[in-house]
Amino acid sequence: MRGVRRQKKSAMPYYEVKLNGENFWMVMEDKPSKMGFYTNRYVEATDATEAENKAVQMIRDDPTFDKILNARSDPPMIYCDRISELEGNVDSPTANQGYVFYREDSDS
C-alpha cells in the first residue's frame, strides 16, 4: 500500500523475566540481614533460555549487590519465576530498575 509505513519487527523478541533472589545477606538498617527480593527484567533474546541468562546476569552486574556478606559455602540464589514473550519492545529507561526486598526468616 502506498503511503503506509509498516513498523519493522525486531529481529529478536523481547521477554519479561520475573526473578526471585533468596539468601542475600546484606546490611539493612545497620545490621546484617538475610534478604530476598523480587524484580522484573526486560531483555531482547533469541529464546526464553537466553532471556533468563541475560536477566540473571543483569542482577549479578548490579552494584546494589556489590557488598553481599554471604560466605562461599552459603551463596545467594536467583530463581526465574516466569518468562513471558512480549509483543514489541520496551522503551522505558526505568524498565530494568528496582527491587522489592523482603526479610527472610533465619534459622541461624
- Banded model confidence at residue 106, pLDDT cuts 50, 70, 90: low
pTM, rounded to two decimals: 0.81
Please say if the pLDDT value at position 4 is more than 60.
no
pLDDT digits (tens, 9 = 90+) for 20-49: 999 999 999 999 999 999 999 999 999 999
- Rounded mean pLDDT of 68-86? 96
Q: Where are the alpha helices (DSSP H) in the chain?
A: 48-60
* Cα separation, 17 vs 44, whole angstroms: 11
